[in-house]
A and B are shown apart, each in its own frame.
Chain A
Amino acid sequence: MSSVPISAFLALALILFCIGLYGALTKRNTVIVLISIELMLNAVNINLVTFSKYGVAPAITGQVFALFVITVAAAEAAVGLAILIALYRNRKTVNIDEMDQLQG
């Protein structure tokens, strides 16, 4: 049953994370950026679950953490989309390049 090695799980998490990071850093549409962040969070979740099962000291803690992350990610997505809608109402754009009010 345990024919799938740990490295496969970790490789999946790594690929997911890299795709998420790439999207978060390069996409111009803010919605895509938020989705990419979700991807990265999920990559983290896979990591957590993998180590809670196959780690040096397997424990339930990792899975509990994964649940927490899912919860927080849901909340974050709600808040992020709400902010995005507010921004869109003001600026008539979802383009992340144009959201540069924080510049020095």
Chain B
Amino acid sequence: MENAWLIPLFPLLSFLVLLLFGRKLKIASAYVGIILVLVSFVYSVIVLFERFTAPTHKAEAVWLSIGELQLTAGFEVNQLNALMLVLVSLVSLLVHIYSKGYMDGDERFPVFYAYLGLFTFSMLGLVMSPNLLQTYIFWELVGVGSFLLIGFYFYKESAKQAAKKAFIMTRIGDVGLFIGMILLFWQTGSFEYDEIFAAVGQGEVSEKWITLTAILIFIGAIGKSGQFPLHTWLPDAMEGPTPVSALIHAATMVAAGVYLVAATFPLFAASETALMTVAVIGAITAIFAASIGLVQTDIKRVLAFSTVSQLGYMMLALGSAGYVAGVFHLMTHAFFKALLFLAAGSVIHAVVTQDIEKMGGLWKKLRFTGPLFLIGTLAISGVPLFSGFFSKDEILMAAWAHGNYGLFWLAVIAAFFTAFYMFRLFFMVFSGESRSKMDNVHESPGVMIGPMIVLGVLAVVAGYVNTPWFGAFLGDWLTEGNPALGHGHVEGPAWIMFVATAVSLLGILLAWLMYSKKSLERDWLSSRAPISYNILVNKYFIDEFYKLSFVYAAKAISLFLKFIEIFLVEGIMKAIGGITQAFANTGSKLQNGQVQTYGTVAFVGLAVLLVIFALTGGYLQ
């Protein structure tokens, strides 16, 4: 565990090697990437197992010393970090393998792997940071990785726009995080998590400051995790290659916001207002994104909105003091959502379209992808015995136990929506008649199926590490020795589990009736309430709203400033220049070469001096 700092360096090495030699390695760059990430993964697993018995390991070295102040850099392996290390390196490894098939034949294949390496390095670094400053550095680095990968198909205008949008939207959140970090430093005199928590625990920081800084940090998380109202970049980020969507925009980077809130959880726990903010934003996001997901027709966009919705769930859990529930759902979600994205990538690979209206009847043609997609769908819908069921259950329990009854019912409705739109997606893609124009739909190569099978297995079994039936291993382990994080398991009324199961089965049933059996008309809702359908299809007009408000306002301001620049600033510059030139011209004219003029001037000057001399008696007072 002492050498855990090596873990992020392998992907960095991969990045550097591929950056320098990628052109020569060509297809072999995939092996370089895969092997180095595999090393990271294996080491992460070792570290995780060591962490089961050993205490938290933290090592730091002075990085910068300014007067009295010493900034340190180092790494920390606590329970959450160890879990995240394995999670990130595993999903990254699987995506590396999968991309070998998916990105096959792409001109910039080595570049893709280089970017993956950079991203994996940053993400692993992020989850090991022992202080806020280091977290912030890696936080921005993952943003860069995400930007590069969304814009991977930079020759597409939409991809370029999406990359910019993602970067700018998350930056808005980052500003909040940055301010929060500085305020915390001002209040506690340290960036170290330990020292901040200690200061907060001993009541050295007033309630007001805790709330303010916690909410500012949460704004950073809102940006990164695509929470309402900064969520609009995440669906657009689907312009990137599908493996990237699976790795960055489903399993790891977007979960960084949740991770950040979890990592600074003692701070949030000290302020009921901050917790409530997190919970409310999470619940709103959950139901809001789920409702949009009901009507989208792009397979990746449906998944993107479901990601936003699930991240909202995690925030709701954390905001309801359900630390374990949030982290647990983060883990299970990483598995089943990565699975869903990889399976969606496999579907896209087969039919070369992302529009689910043009799919259908793929179950027979994609013998592996179909069942794997079904597993992911069942898991996310919260069907019993799958991983999503247990984690979603924990979240609902936490929300109920914390007394957020309104938010609890919102979450239940969101769960119903989730089950409905996920199965709508499933039925439209896999059942019924083929609407595809492709004749030779074929299953993806084994290199793509393999990682999906691993994730499929995990999507089923990952839930059993923390169940009400076999004990809450994960919960007990996560909260071990840290009472600020709450209990390992939240007790709640037993009927919650039945309600959760019922709504998800109801959603599945409704989807089946509408899209598979077709006994209910598909446009049942849209024909009766076209307005609500319109609102949902247009994602509540949030993008339009931002365009009309912030974008145009910014443009108006910039236009105004441009006029100031042209007329005021340049006007002043021109005036100064003109005055100087006029002086020079006058001076130049005096030098007219007429000796008599010079003589006159000299004589007049002398005369003036003499008059002054005569009047003042030789002294100038």
Contact = CB atoms under 8 A, between A and B. Distances in A.
A104 B600 contact: no
A24 B595 CA distance: 10
A25 B600 contact: yes
Contacts of A96: 594-596
Contacts of B587: 104
B594 A100 contact: yes
A99 B596 contact: no
B599 A25 contact: yes
A99 B591 contact: no
B590 to A, nearest CB: 8
Contacts of A25: 596, 599-600, 603
Nearest to A28: B596
A90 interface: no
A101 B593 contact: yes
Nearest to B597: A25
B616 interface: no
Nearest to A30: B595
B599 A104 contact: no
A33 B598 CA distance: 14
A97 B588 CA distance: 17
Contacts of A100: 592-594
Interface in A10-24: 21, 24
Contacts of A24: 596, 599
Interface in B568-601: 587-588, 591-596, 599-600
A101 B592 CA distance: 9
A88 B591 CA distance: 23
B22 to A, nearest CB: 64
Given A21-B603, A104-B588, A26 B596 contact: yes
Contacts of A26: 596
A103 B598 CA distance: 11
B600 A102 contact: no
Contacts, number: 30
Interface in A23-42: 24-26, 33
B585 to A, nearest CB: 11
Interface in A52-104: 96-97, 99-104
Contacts of A101: 593
B386 to A, nearest CB: 92
B594 A97 contact: yes
Contacts of B599: 24-25
Contacts of A103: 591-594
A103 B600 CA distance: 16
B597 to A, nearest CB: 9
A102 B592 CA distance: 7
Interface residues of A, number: 13
Nearest to B602: A25
Nearest to B592: A103
A101 B600 CA distance: 18
Q: Counting chain B CB atoms within 10 Å of each CB, which of A21, A96, A104 scores highest?
A: A104
B593 A99 contact: yes
A90 to B, nearest CB: 15
A99 B594 CA distance: 7
Nearest to B594: A100
Contacts of B603: 21, 25
A21 B591 CA distance: 21
A37 to B, nearest CB: 10
A21 B361 CA distance: 115
Contacts of A104: 587-588, 591-593
B605 to A, nearest CB: 13
A31 to B, nearest CB: 14
Nearest to B600: A25
A68 B596 CA distance: 26
A24 B600 CA distance: 9
A27 B595 CA distance: 11
A96 B599 CA distance: 13
A99 B596 CA distance: 11
A25 B588 CA distance: 21
B33 to A, nearest CB: 72
A77 B587 CA distance: 32
A55 B403 CA distance: 117
A80 B592 CA distance: 21
Contacts of A21: 603
A13 to B, nearest CB: 17
A96 B596 CA distance: 8
Nearest to B590: A104
A103 B593 CA distance: 4
Contacts of B591: 102-104
Contacts of B596: 24-26, 33, 96
Contacts of B593: 99-104
Contacts of A97: 594
A19 to B, nearest CB: 14
A42 to B, nearest CB: 18
Nearest to A21: B603
A99 B595 contact: yes
B602 to A, nearest CB: 10
Nearest to A100: B593
A24 B593 CA distance: 15
B593 to A, nearest CB: 3
Q: Counting chain A CB atoms within 10 Å of each CB, which of B591, B593, B603 scores highest?
A: B593
Contacts of B588: 104
Contacts of A99: 593, 595
Interface in B5-19: none
A26 B594 CA distance: 11
Nearest to B596: A25
Interface in B519-566: none
B568 to A, nearest CB: 35
A21 B600 CA distance: 9
A99 B593 CA distance: 7
A99 to B, nearest CB: 7
10 contacts: A25-B596, A25-B603, A26-B596, A96-B594, A97-B594, A99-B593, A100-B592, A100-B593, A102-B593, A104-B591
The 6 closest A-B pairs by CB, nearest first: A100-B593, A103-B593, A104-B591, A102-B593, A103-B592, A104-B588
Given A25-B600, A99-B593, A104-B587, 16 more contacts: A24-B599, A25-B596, A25-B603, A96-B594, A97-B594, A99-B595, A100-B592, A100-B594, A101-B593, A102-B591, A102-B593, A103-B591, A103-B592, A103-B593, A103-B594, A104-B591
Interface of B: 587-588, 591-596, 599-600, 603
